[in-house]
Amino acid sequence: MTGLRTNVADLLHHPGARRPVVIEAPVAGLAAGVARVAESDPLVVDVVLERVPEGIVVRGQVKGHWTGDCSRCLRPIDRELALPVNELFETEPLEGETYPLEGDVIDLALPVRDAVLLELPLAPLCTDDCAGLCPVCGNDRNENACDCEAAPSDERWAPLRELRL
Ligand SMILES: [Zn+2]
Ligand SMILES: [Zn+2]
124 and 143 inside one domain? no
Domains in the chain, number = 2
Do 47 and 13 share a structural domain?
A: yes
Please tell me the number of the ligand nearest to residue 134's CA.
Answer: 2
Residue 154 CB partners (closer than 8 Å, separation 6+) = none
Do 151 and 93 fall within a single domain? Answer: no
11 and 74 share a domain?
A: yes
Ligand 2 is an ion; its neighbours by CB within 5 Å are 134, 136-137, 139, 146, 148
Ligand approaching nearest to the C-alpha of 132: 1
Task: Report how far residue 133's alpha carbon sits from residue 137's, in angstroms, rounded to the nearest whole number.
Answer: 8
Domain residue limits at 165: 131-165
CB 153 within 8 A of CB 94: no
Q: For residues 121 and 147, state if they share a domain.
A: no
135 and 147 belong to one structural domain: yes
Judge if 91 and 165 occupy the same domain. no
Residue 147 Cα to ligand 2 middle (Å)? 6
In a shared domain, residues 20 and 91: yes
Query: Can you give the pLDDT of all 165 residues of the chain as single tens digits?
Result: 468 999 999 999 998 999 999 999 999 889 988 899 988 889 999 999 999 999 999 999 999 999 999 999 999 999 999 999 999 999 999 999 999 999 999 999 999 999 999 999 999 999 999 999 999 999 999 999 898 865 555 555 556 655 655
> If you measure from the C-alpha of residue 141 to the centroid of ligand 2, how many angstroms do you get, rounded to a whole number?
8
107 and 52 both lie in a single domain: yes
Cα separation, 121 vs 126, whole angstroms = 12
Nearest to 27 by CA among 77, 63, 80: 63
pTM for this prediction: 0.80
Count of other CB atoms within 10 angstroms of residue 101: 20
Judgement on whether residues 10 and 34 belong to the same structural domain of the protein: yes
Check whether residue 21 and residue 58 sit in a common domain.
yes
Looking at the fold, whether 40 and 90 belong to one and the same domain comes out as yes
Say what the pLDDT of residue 40 is.
85
